[in-house]
């Protein structure tokens, strides 16, 4: 299943917006959190930081996503900014765009995540390889990411024309 686009209202720790389409060809590890979620603070975020360190020399992209689905007034971007500073988080972190109806933000809804902390592993081809609610064993997570990094993007033949783009002399309509 292709990973849906991220809907992010504000980014921290990055000068430009991150876009999964632009990351195609790389493995992406997204960890979602809320700054007042104990399991995120005690386990999820520290694990994401260990992942960053271990895979620092690979082309893995780690992204944090602040998916606030409760206590919205308590977890504003102002508080998130101070949280990022105090916990010394350096990877790109996006604020999941508030939902139009209901408390669940847009990206969290698109990915069907059950709560926080959650994680999503996206392969080089842009497909979702794994989704997890809660924090999994470090060895397992390390193995799964390494496996995704080891998988070649083996596309022999012509790539499909992206929607709205022209290739091979013909132009496809936008999807």
* Contact residues: a copy of itself, CB under 8 A: 35-38, 41-42, 47, 50-51, 53-55, 70-71, 73-75, 78-79, 81-83, 85-87, 137-147, 149-151
Facing residues of 63 across strands?
30
Compute the least distance from the CB of residue 138 to a copy of itself, in Å: 4
- φ/ψ of residue 130, rounded to 5: -160, 140
| Cα separation, 88 vs 69, whole angstroms | 24
Kindly tell me which of 87 and 171 has the beta carbon lying closer to a copy of itself: 87
Compute the least distance from the CB of residue 33 to a copy of itself, in Å: 12
Kindly tell me which of 74 and 166 has the beta carbon lying closer to a copy of itself: 74
Kindly tell me which of 48 and 108 has the beta carbon lying closer to a copy of itself: 48
Compute the least distance from the CB of residue 41 to a copy of itself, in Å: 6
Compute the least distance from the CB of residue 140 to a copy of itself, in Å: 5
| Cα separation, 130 vs 98, whole angstroms | 24
- For residue 118 the two structure tokens come to 């959650």
Q: Which residues neighbour 80 within 8 Å (Cβ) at sequence distance 6 or greater?
A: 12, 35, 66, 93, 95
Kindly tell me which of 74 and 171 has the beta carbon lying closer to a copy of itself: 74
Unique residue bearing structure tokens 């936008």? 174
CB 33 within 8 A of CB 117: yes
Kindly tell me which of 6 and 120 has the beta carbon lying closer to a copy of itself: 120
Instruction: Report the DSSP pairing between strands 28-33 and 118-122.
Output: antiparallel
Compute the least distance from the CB of residue 87 to a copy of itself, in Å: 6
Instruction: Report the DSSP pairing between strands 93-96 and 8-12.
Output: antiparallel
């Amino acid at each position: 299943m292709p990973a849906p686009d991220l809907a992010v209202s504000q980014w921290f720790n990055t000068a430009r917006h991150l876009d999964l389409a632009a990351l195609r060809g790389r493995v992406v590890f997204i960890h979602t959190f809320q700054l007042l979620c104990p399991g995120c603070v005690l386990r999820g975020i520290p694990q994401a930081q260990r992942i960053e360190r271990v895979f620092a020399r690979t082309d893995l992209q780690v992204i944090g996503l602040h998916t606030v689905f409760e206590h919205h007034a308590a977890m504003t971007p102002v508080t998130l900014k101070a949280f990022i500073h105090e916990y010394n988080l350096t990877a790109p972190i996006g604020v999941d765009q508030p939902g139009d109806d209901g408390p669940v933000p847009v990206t969290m809804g698109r990915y069907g995540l059950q709560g926080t902390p959650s994680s999503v592993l996206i392969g080089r081809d842009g497909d979702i390889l794994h989704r997890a609610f809660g924090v999994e064993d470090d060895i397992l997570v390390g193995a799964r990411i390494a496996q995704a990094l080891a998988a070649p993007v083996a596309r022999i033949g012509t790539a499909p024309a992206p929607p709205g783009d022209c290739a091979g002399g013909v132009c496809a309509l936008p999807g």
